[in-house]
Each structure stands twice: as structure tokens, then as C-alpha cells.
Structure 1
Amino acid sequence: MSFFEEKNPEMDRYLESHASSEPEILKKLRRETFQKTTQPHMISGYQQGRLLTMISQILKPENILEIGTFTGYATLCLIKGLSKDGKITTLDVNEDLAYLPQKYFAESEYSEQINFRLQDAKEFLKETDEIFDLVFIDADKENYVEYFKLIKPRTKSGSVVMFDNVLWYGKVLEENPKQKSTQIIKELNDLIAKDDDFENLILPLRDGVNFLRRK
């Protein structure tokens, strides 16, 4: 649950009831995530999922990168706009939970286009020479700045990058935060705002999404 949902749950319900319906496979995955994981709030919410799907459908990307698979909800949203011959690479390090996204990826009509890897994202980004059209990051916050620095060379003009949880339950308003993750997120937001190679906007959806487009 986000900072904003806690403040106005009625508005959140209104927004969900006036958006396109959630596909059945995502409904099943969301239910099972809440039944079988200890931190189900980590799943991309329905509203955010709709945003990811629509952005992907607008871009029609050939190559998507996701850092932080969790149970695969965002993956299955992002893939909806993937080009016919495209692929999505989704990275996570949680071996114990891997069975859950693998189950739903296998059920998906896009199963052959999903490259699910149990690999450290920093390691992957240092090794790959791929260029990505669309990148979504929802992983360990303390590595957000490092991810940004490593992802930038792997983008081109028109590439879209999204960082989740960039409002961090409102903690980014703290002037001198003691929490390391808050410090890193504030540093990330500052770096992005000052980077002339990108144009960006922070969307106050759920816990905040920093939406970047490479110029």
C-alpha cells in the first residue's frame, strides 16, 4: 500500500473502478501473491500495472528490461505492448520465490518472449551490450543511483526509463533523512532532474514513479 492510498483509499477505489478491467491472469497472480508471499505490498498495483501496459503499447518496444521481478505482475503488464519479435528480460535474485513468476510466465501467451534471469542487475548491466527501449526498475532502493548510472549507456534517443517508489512514503520531503534508502532515492531524483540527456516527470501514482525519456 502506498503513502497516497493510506491518505485517500476512497479515491484509490474510484480510480480503479474507472479504469480498464484487469486481465484474468493478473487477477490470479495478484491473489496468489497475497496468499503466498510475506510482503505482497511489493507487487505493482493495478493502477500502476495499467500505466505500464499503456506506455508499452504506445512505445511498441523491441527490447524491455525489468529490474526486480518479484512475482511477475509488472512483467506481464509491460509485455502487452512488446513488438512481435521483441523480448523482455526480467531480473531478480530471490531464488525461493522464482517458482511463482515462472508459473505465470509459462501460462502467458507471451511465454517465449520472457527471459527471466536470477542474476544481480549490476552484474548484468556491466556485462550486456544490449540497448533497451523501455526499462522499469522496482528493486533494492539502495542501488537506485548505481542502476541509473549503469542503465544510461544502455539507452538511446526515445528510450523510456521508469523508477518506482521515488516518493518513498513521503520521506523524500525530509531535509536530512537518516535512512540510507531515503538518502539514495533523494540523490537519484536530484541526479535525474539535473541530467540534460533526459526529460522527466515524477508521477504521484501509488508511491511515485520517476518517468524519464532519453532525448
Structure 2
Amino acid sequence: MSFFEEKNPEMDRYLETHGSSEPEILKKLRKETFQKTTQPHMISGYQQGRLLTIISQMLQPKNVLEIGTFTGYATLCLTAGLAKDGKITTLDVNEDLAYLPKKYFQESEYSNQINFKLQDAKEFLKETDEIFDLVFIDADKENYAEYFRLIKPRTQSGSVVLFDNVLWYGKVLEENPKQKSTQIIKELNDLIAKDNDFENLILPLRDGVNFLRKI
């Protein structure tokens, strides 16, 4: 078992009890995600959720884009710092699961600021002329490099972009990976590292977050 696959429940509990408390709506959503979905590990969860909330609160963005809604946990974390006239567009293609994020978005105090769309993200990015202050990508890994290429012109100086799962359970250390998703994630990390229009840092939080800021 690699370092990135190891689980440490005691450390997770310590981190949660020594961070700001999780809002009740997120506790409910996390519980229902584990009850009703077949891959509950896909949820952002407490630690990453706190990171997204704090970044959003620091930026107070007017326009946020999320690619990969899943059950909406990360979406609600990102709404916490929205400007009063701000909005978040969150994209997914899973129609069967859409009822769950919709339910919690309606319960949220930010319901009027959330635009949930069942649409392919590549199509959306090719069609939109919007500029985004904050972007979070946690979706199909085999399109990560393409998402980066499409997102870049939709950002401006100071925009923050975050890609989740960029360590891919440690598989990025493989020299010649056979798995397509691993190849693409390595390509993404290389593209970002060589792009002089962004400064970045990979945070070893959970499965790795590539944290970018446009210069």
C-alpha cells in the first residue's frame, strides 16, 4: 500500500476536532451521500471543504465555476464566500444523482446564487464568454488537461483555479503509467508547472490539490 492510499482515522478525527465546525447542512449532506451513493468517497469532505470555504471567503468571488458537482458538498463550501451579487455555476452529467444536490441547494441560504447545470463541461467552456474568479475541478480525470486549456482563457489576473486528485493515489510517481487517467493527470501537472501565466503549488491534502493563481 502506498503512502497516498494509507488511511489514518485517528489523524482525520484530530484534524476535524481542531478545525472550524462543519455546518449542519454539510453534515446532513455528507451523511446522505454515504447512505445513498455507491461511491461516497468522491465527496470532498470536511478537510477539503474547509479549504474551499476559506479560499472563497478570502477571494469573495463574483463568478465561480465548478466542474463535477457530485452531491454538492464542495458547491456549498464554495458559496460561503460569494459576493452579495455573486453566483456559482456547477456542472455535472449524472442525471440519476441530480436530485441530491438539488435538494440541498434548495435548502441552502445561497440557493438563489447557485446555477446547477446538467451539461458537458467542455461544451460549456467552448460556448461561454464568462470570466471566472474561482474555478474548482473535480470531475473525469481523462479530460483534466483539456479542461485546463479551455479554462485558461476564461480566467483573469488574480483568478484561482483548483484541480482535485492530482496525486492520484501516488500513481503520478510512475514513470510510464499504463492507465490513461494517470497519464492525463501527469500531463496536467506538467502543463501547469511550465505555464508562466500561473503560479501554483500542489497541496498534499487528501489525494492532492493543484492550487493555481493567474498572474
TM class, shorter-length: over 0.9
Matches of 2:198 and 2:176, distance apart in 1: 27
How far 1:12 sits from its partner (Å)? 2.1
Q: Tell me the secondary structure at the aligned position of residue 123 of structure 2.
A: helix
The answer to whether residue 96 in structure 2 is matched with residue 96 in structure 1 is yes
Matches of 2:195 and 2:17, distance apart in 1: 37
How far 1:5 sits from its partner (Å)? 6.7
Q: Tell me the secondary structure at the aligned position of residue 65 of structure 1.
A: strand
Identity fraction in percent: 90
The answer to whether residue 113 in structure 2 is matched with residue 110 in structure 1 is no
Contact 1:131 1:154 in 2 (8 A): yes
Cα RMSD, aligned residues only: 1.2
Q: 1:7 to 1:97 in 2, by over 3 A?
A: closer
How far 1:176 sits from its partner (Å)? 0.6
Contact 1:3 1:206 in 2 (8 A): no
Matches of 2:18 and 2:184, distance apart in 1: 35
Q: Tell me the secondary structure at the aligned position of residue 116 of structure 1.
A: strand
The answer to whether residue 119 in structure 2 is matched with residue 81 in structure 1 is no
How far 1:188 sits from its partner (Å)? 0.2
Contact 2:5 2:169 in 1 (8 A): no
Matches of 1:39 and 1:152, distance apart in 2: 30
Q: Any idea what the Cα deviations from partners look like across 1:114-135, whole Å, max 9, x if unmatched?
A: 0000000000000000000000
Give the corresponding residue for 1:43: 43
How far 1:8 sits from its partner (Å)? 3.1
Contact 1:5 1:12 in 2 (8 A): no
The answer to whether residue 159 in structure 2 is matched with residue 127 in structure 1 is no
Q: Any idea what the Cα deviations from partners look like across 1:93-127, whole Å, max 9, x if unmatched?
A: 00000000000000000000000000000000000
Contact 1:166 1:210 in 2 (8 A): yes
Q: Report matched runs for 1:126-205 at 5 Å.
A: 126-205=126-205
How far 1:10 sits from its partner (Å)? 2.3
Q: Report matched runs for 1:61-72 at 5 Å.
A: 61-72=61-72
Give the corresponding residue for 1:8: 8
Q: Tell me the secondary structure at the aligned position of residue 159 of structure 1.
A: strand
Matches of 1:67 and 1:128, distance apart in 2: 14
Q: 1:116 to 1:3 in 2, by over 3 A?
A: farther
How far 1:4 sits from its partner (Å)? 4.1
**Aligned partner of 2:90: which letter?**
T
**Aligned partner of 1:45: which letter?**
G
TM-score between the two structures when normalised by the length of structure 1: 0.97
Matches of 1:106 and 1:180, distance apart in 2: 37
TM-score between the two structures when normalised by the length of structure 2: 0.97
Contact 1:88 1:114 in 2 (8 A): yes
How far 1:3 sits from its partner (Å)? 6.1
The answer to whether residue 25 in structure 2 is matched with residue 25 in structure 1 is yes
Q: Tell me the secondary structure at the aligned position of residue 75 of structure 2.
A: helix
Q: Any idea what the Cα deviations from partners look like across 1:71-104, whole Å, max 9, x if unmatched?
A: 0000000000000001000000000000000000
Matches of 1:205 and 1:125, distance apart in 2: 27
